[in-house]
Amino acid sequence: MNPIKTDLLQGTLDLLILKTVALGPQHGYGISLRIQQISRDALQVRQGSLYPALHRLERRGWIAAEWGDSENNRRAKFYKITRTGRRQLEVEETNWERLAVAIAQVLKTVES
């Protein structure tokens, strides 16, 4: 399966990041790796999109950053989800599901 390298919709990338950090604090590289793994290489987030998105989410207060030591004992910036971020994640998840259902509906109609 070819990885999707297209620019994800901005909201979609935010949703993926929020979901990933909701699983536990993670640094930027780790986040991109985890998205790639979970999507079984289907989604590859470009660093040029990931880091600005992380800074944007931090600015909005949905995730918080903290410097800590990585697995191989390097200083790394870890992101973790905040309480407002968690609420936002719920909202976005619902929105996404609704959107996915709606799009699926539309596609079916067109095919029939």
Residue numbers of the site for other proteins (CB under 8 A)?
27-29, 46-48, 51-53, 55-56, 59-61, 67, 70, 72, 74-77
Contact criterion met (CB below 8 Å) for 22 and 89: yes
Q: Which is nearer to other proteins, 75 or 108 (CB)?
A: 75
Long-range contacts of 43-50 (CB under 8 A, 24+ apart): 43/3, 43/4, 43/8, 43/16, 44/3, 44/4, 44/5, 45/8, 45/13, 45/16, 46/5, 49/7, 49/8, 49/13, 50/13, 50/17
Comparison of 40 and 75: residue with beta carbon closer to other proteins: 75
Rounded to the nearest whole angstrom, what is the least distance from the CB of residue 40 to other proteins in the complex? Answer: 17
- We find the least distance from the C-beta atom of residue 55 to other proteins, in angstroms, to be 4
Q: Decide whether 24 or 61 has the Cβ nearer to other proteins.
A: 61
Least distance in angstroms from the C-beta of 24 to other proteins: 17
